[in-house]
Amino acid sequence: MTLRDHLAAAIQALRAAGVPSPEVDARALVLHALGLSPTAFLLRGSAEVAGADAERLAELLGQRAARVPLQHLLGTVDWGGVQLRVDGRALIPRPETEWLLHLALADLRGMGAPRVVDVGTGGGALALGVKATRPDAEVLGMDLSSEALALAGENAALNGLDVVFVESDLLTDISGPFDLILANLPYLPEGDRADAHPEVRYDPDLALYSGPDGLTLARRLIPQARVSLAPAGVLWLELDPRNASAFAAELRAQGWAATLHADLTGRERFVRAQR
């Protein structure tokens, strides 16, 4: 079988397994298994695939058909200007959160040496994205999971970035003031467990669910953020689009200046708040 034959067969196998994006995933796995760039694939598409390479590709495709996440099979993702190792110790960084990074960085423009904390940092994506863009910033990443923090430390070393990661229940164990607090906390309602996509079972439950309406942790964070923000500091939260508007209203009722912001698909999932 040629490279093109293997790609066609891979697409068919993943489609039959119900994988949501069979063409994209099949191409990524073919390139990864065979160590090819997209250009090399185009140039060598009619070449036959050696037995060992075909076996490696078949193993990866079998795992993806069993709904092991693509990112776990590839091992790393490029995200927010950094490269991140990805495995079951932390939530897979989502594309939507890259837009949160973009929005939050705008608040740091013109601010010298800001102090930033990423609450619920997981594998360190937001914290490292900030540090990569703003080397002058003092950046901390907090998480309750020691396993996630170990992964975050590996990602910091991989990118050569100086970010301090601390095990903490939200902001309990650190002191402000912070110019920017980022929080991509677990935000799914507990009721979502039963209908979760198969890939979601590879993410830690600790990183996914937050009480009956998905807002338990966000509500716990608010009084801590109130005392931890600098006078002109900004809090950014990523929430489920189903509950972001309700939470912004709760914040306004508590005296916060809170605004909703949409992701790139137009869903309002980000809340920006100031005291």
CATH architecture under which domain 79-274 falls: 3-Layer(aba) Sandwich (3.40)
**Measured distance CA(2)–CA(270) in Å, rounded:** 46
- Residue 211's Cβ-count burial label (10 Å; 0-12, 13-18, 19+) is middle
What is the predicted pLDDT for the residue at 262? 97
What does the pLDDT average to over 27-43? 92
Residue 168, pLDDT > 90, answer yes
What does the pLDDT average to over 130-151? 97
Q: Mind listing the pLDDT tens digit for each residue in 64-117?
A: 999 999 999 999 999 999 999 999 999 999 999 999 999 999 999 989 999 999
What is the predicted pLDDT for the residue at 1? 86
Q: What tokens appear for 18 in the block?
A: 């119900």
With cut-offs at 50, 70 and 90, classify the pLDDT of residue 135: very high
With cut-offs at 50, 70 and 90, classify the pLDDT of residue 233: very high
E strands, 27-163, where? 76-79, 82-85, 115-119, 138-143
Length of the chain: 275
Q: What tokens appear for 159 in the block?
A: 């990118």
With cut-offs at 50, 70 and 90, classify the pLDDT of residue 46: confident
For the chain, the structural domain boundaries read 3-66, 79-274
Global pTM reads: 0.92
Q: Mind listing the pLDDT tens digit for each residue in 180-231?
A: 999 999 999 999 998 899 999 999 989 999 999 999 999 999 999 999 999 9
Task: Check: CB of residue 35 under 8 Å from CB of residue 7.
Answer: no
What does the DSSP 8-state code read for residue 213?
T
**Measured distance CA(4)–CA(133) in Å, rounded:** 39
What is the predicted pLDDT for the residue at 43? 85
Coil vs helix vs strand at 112:
coil
